Amino acid sequence: PRTTLLFVSPKDLYTAPDSCEGRCEEPYSEEDECHCNAECERYRNCCEDYDRHCRPEGFSRSWDSITDEDLLHISEQLYKADHNKARPTDITINPQYQASPDETGDQEDRSPQPLYKYVNEELFSKPTYASFIKLLDNYQRATGREEDVTAEELREQDNFLKEVMKTELMKKLFAFLHKKNRYDSEQEFVADLKEMWFGLYSRGNGEQDSSGFEHVFSGEVKKGKVSGFHNWIRFYLLEKQGIVNYFSHNFDGPWDTYPEVLGLQFSWDGFYKEVGSAFIGCSPEFEFGLYTLCFIARPGRACHLSLGGYSLSIQTYAWTKSTYGNGKKYIATAYVISS
């Protein structure tokens, strides 16, 4: 007689470590790589499929979940509150060549002129811009090189956070997150911003060589390519010094005022960036605020927003290899999806 082999499906034997299937409301354990209890939303350490498996029907309408409608509404509010953004007369850009999708990787400079024809540098004396610019020279761009953070640099981080929190835009963002039960106080929010953006982690071999802020705003070089670098002010300052060379753009957003969005190809000291999306002409707090919102509300997923009646999506990723606080994740990257 033939023997019948009974196969037990692997999912009957154990639960995938990165899934919430069968794990809803499981008590927190620091050994788990992601979590499935009610607190995980607050700590941004839920498994990707938490919503699917663990939210009771109708929970998405409960007062402290952040719905897709909430995101469209708050992003329009933040857009209107960006009082420090560039006026149309403050910036003149010259985008020149538009690259097709199959041209973005070929490292050809198809735009002989710089991207920025004119920037009114009086913008940079506004407190949030001035404190932001001070942070840009605090980093070694090569991954694998330990960051040496001085007391002065820590003061510059605190000063930047202090200045952005004075703005209506960041106050609105805090009020929204407070209402959604993510933070009890502005002090708790600022302390968390400092960790998630400025806390150091290792992209190399264990050296504390990177942070969300460095990656997103200042830019890094990894394996011979530009990594991160999504900020227009940084781009303008380096282009003016002749260190950045603009090649082409593959995306030009629908806005006829600032902030605008471009997808760029450029070289930084000989290192190439195939698509570096950037808001153009927004204030530092606008970009910082939107990326924070999306990282808290939709980490690891496309976060759909609305700016001036136009839709826009931001992608963020959490750094998964180290955590802070009660298993909270650092920002690995955040950028506008520009395709």
In this structure, the number of other CB atoms found within 10 A of the CB of residue 324 comes to 14
Task: Please pick, among 35, 180, 222, 273, the residue that the annotation labels catalytic.
Answer: 273
Q: Which of 277, 293, 288, 290 is nearest to 335 (CA)?
A: 277
Residues 6 or more apart from 10 whose CB is under 8 A from it? none
Answer yes or no: are the C-beta atoms of 31 and 45 closer than 8 Å.
no
Burial of residue 299 (number of CB atoms within 10 Å: 0-12, 13-18, 19+): buried
Residue type, 50: Y
Q: Compare 40 and 188 and report the one with higher pLDDT.
A: 188
Q: What is the DSSP string of 84-96?
A: TSPPTTTEEE---
Q: Contact 266/116 with Cβ under 8 angstroms?
A: no
- Could you give the residue ranges of the DSSP H alpha helices within 202-254? 212-213, 232-240
Q: What is the DSSP string of 246-300?
A: EEEEEEE-S-SSSSEEEEEEEEETTEEEEEEEEEES--HHHHHHHHHHHHHHSTT
- pLDDT tens for each residue of 99-143: 999 999 999 999 999 999 999 999 999 999 999 999 998 888 777
Q: What is the DSSP string of 18-56?
A: T--TTTTTPPP-TTSSSB-STTHHHHT-B-TTHHHHHSP
Distance of CA 110 to the CA centre of its chain: 29
Give the pLDDT of residue 54: 84
Enter the tokens of residue 119: 């920037």
Residues 271-320: tens digit of each pLDDT: 999 999 999 999 999 999 999 999 999 998 999 999 999 999 999 999 98
Digit-coded pLDDT (tens) for 60-104: 435 578 999 999 999 999 999 999 999 999 999 999 999 999 999
Q: Which of 35, 230, 249, 329 is catalytic?
A: 230
Q: Quote the pLDDT of residue 31.
A: 80
Pick the catalytic residue from 35, 85, 180, 215.
215
What is the per-residue pLDDT across 16-54, written as a single tens digit (0 to 9) for each?
A: 678 888 888 888 888 888 888 888 888 888 888 888 888
pLDDT on residue 14: 52
**What tens digit of pLDDT does each residue of 2-19 get?**
555 554 444 444 556 788
pLDDT at 186: 97
pLDDT score at 8:
47
Active site residue 83: no
Overall average pLDDT of the 184-200 stretch: 97
Token pair, residue 266, equals 């450029």
**CA–CA gap between residue 217 and residue 135 (Å, rounded):** 9
Q: Decide if 215 is catalytic.
A: yes
List domains and CATH numbers for the chain. 1-59 (4.10.410.20), 68-337 (no CATH)
Active site residue 273: yes
